[in-house]
Structure 1
């Protein structure tokens, strides 16, 4: 009897709360990772709540643009068998972060690939070929490297209200500007109290960067929440009026 096993990889890019992480009994303790530059390593918990499934875990950090494996970090252990009902603390270790910018955050993606054990073939007549399809689950979350010089929780939270907005000069929307050295990920963004951010849309402002949100007509105000270091949502901030030079940002 010939046996053919096919493993398909299902990729999950996560931005929701911990409940959104469960897949095949697996869950990550966080929906994002902030790596402080003054630490040599940090931990990420992975839990297997299944009563019977066993998974082989492999973790790595990828570059944001190329998605190629990064040389700046290594995840240990390199391969781990996670039995049913157990959990493990994966460690993310800094290897080569000296070349990263020291005045602003850098973005990476942490991947945790869960590979199922190969299923046993079902009894069959001799000579039959049976194909077994298994799903490997690759969970991907953002990893923000925060240099030691800007590790400051108060400064991070202050940046939430520092976003500025103005009409896009091309007349296609509203442009947001981030004057801070931190990545700011927005949630439930509204323009003139109407939803401007669709479900699953990633509105992320790079350090000192800009993001243009499509909008027709003259915008009067824009409001948003910011997803914090641990995945929680901030209070809602409103920028009004637009596009006055005297615009202000305030929290509701």
Structure 2
């Protein structure tokens, strides 16, 4: 008897890239003055694939059937032919549910389900892997200013090897590296700081008040950008 196993990595592959489906970005910004944004998917494989797309509120283990967001994705499920493409359209349906004085964060999920070939379909045992990618999806209201100014508004407060980072801007800031010589990182993990919130990092050495440090952060295009900030 032929057994086909379809394994969805829905709860296990949280941040990996889809196996054969390439997406045109590492993060997606929805400007408040746009009616919708589009996301381009390309199937690089020699076989068709099924792609399922949905947004979540931050819990990667929540089922797509139970998640509610103010956005609509069209189409939520699509067949992408070999070497072909598909455009996702994401439209805001309920603007009243979103704060207007800061950015809001969701996560865009793309589940890549490769189709079985005829040869594989004849095998007695088939293991089919469905790989999920998860991308930051940020809604940015109009009138917030420029996101490049967010790093300049960070307040660094040292306490021994602990460094509290106070984000006084309306933007999400993802800090990838903190250094004093723009080379060796003092932190061992990336930190995303929500608007008007404080996060704390453990550094490999203590910083002094008045010291100038280099902070590397990710911009809207996923590029790593360096900026200098003075420690309080």
Q: Which position in structure 1 is the counterpart of 2:206?
A: 218
State the TM-score, normalized to the length of structure 1: 0.78
Q: CA deviation at 1:232?
A: 1.7
Q: CA deviation at 1:37?
A: 1.6
Q: CA deviation at 1:43?
A: 0.3
1:60-209 alignment to 2 at 5 Å? 60-65=54-59, 68=62, 69-118=67-116, 120-122=120-122, 130-150=124-144, 152=145, 155-168=146-159, 171-190=160-179, 194-198=184-188, 201-209=189-197
8 Å contact from structure 2 (residues 5, 127) kept in 1: yes
How far does the alpha carbon of each residue in 1:216-242 deviate from its partner, in whole angstroms, 9 at most, with x for none? 6531343212211121222x22223x4
User: Following the alignment from structure 2 to structure 1, what is the Cα–Cα distance between the partners of residues 175 and 162?
Assistant: 17
Distance 1:205 1:4, change over 3 A: same
Structure 1: state its 5+ residue gaps.
15-20, 124-129, 244-252
Structure 2: state its 5+ residue gaps.
none
User: Following the alignment from structure 2 to structure 1, what is the Cα–Cα distance between the partners of residues 147 and 121?
Assistant: 54
Q: Which position in structure 2 is the counterpart of 1:30?
A: 25
Q: How many correspondences in the alignment? A: 220
State the TM-score, normalized to the length of structure 2: 0.84
Q: CA deviation at 1:176?
A: 0.9
- The 3-state SS of whatever aligns with 1:141 is strand
Q: Which position in structure 2 is the counterpart of 1:250?
A: none
Structure ID, larger Rg: 1
Q: CA deviation at 1:172?
A: 4.9
Q: CA deviation at 1:66?
A: 7.2
